Amino acid sequence: MSDEMNTQDVQAYNPVAMDEMHNALIQYFEIESEIKAIEYTKAEVRARIEILAKDLGGKAKIDHVGSVQVVPASESHSYDTKALDKLVEIMIEDGELHTAKRIMTCRKTVERKESLRIVGAK
């Protein structure tokens, strides 16, 4: 079959494959639709679990089912290595080896949103 064949040529060449393709595509898109519906339902249930977990103090364990924990929002700190390298060069040139204030200007803050951990029983 050449690359230049159009859809009508393919249908005439292999109508059985075209029918199978039609059915497979319909099935595929039906499954996609079902997955979206399930994901939406899962998100709703997850939101309900989070509310209940907060009502229970942020943690809950249900024997033989699983556990849940609300992990509070937090910050983490890191340093920009390129900025630190440049700062070290400047400090060496200036003869300043222990200047914590200048190092602190390279500090980055990353905020983490609150999250929910759900673990199934083993």
Check whether residue 87 and residue 41 sit in a common domain. no
Residue 1: give the domain boundaries.
1-55
Check whether residue 46 and residue 28 sit in a common domain. yes
Check whether residue 78 and residue 42 sit in a common domain. no
Check whether residue 70 and residue 40 sit in a common domain. no
Structural domains in the chain (count): 2
Check whether residue 74 and residue 41 sit in a common domain. no
Closest CA to 22 of 7, 37, 38: 7
Check whether residue 50 and residue 93 sit in a common domain. no
Q: What is the mean pLDDT of residues 36-50?
A: 96
Which of 55, 77, 100 marks a domain boundary?
Answer: 55
CA 20 to chain centroid: 35
Confidence at residue 37, expressed as pLDDT on a 0 to 100 scale: 97
Check whether residue 39 and residue 67 sit in a common domain. no
Question: Which residues are 62's β-sheet partners?
Answer: 66
Q: pLDDT tens digit string along 53-110?
A: 999 999 999 999 999 999 999 988 777 878 888 888 888 888 877 776 777 777 777 8
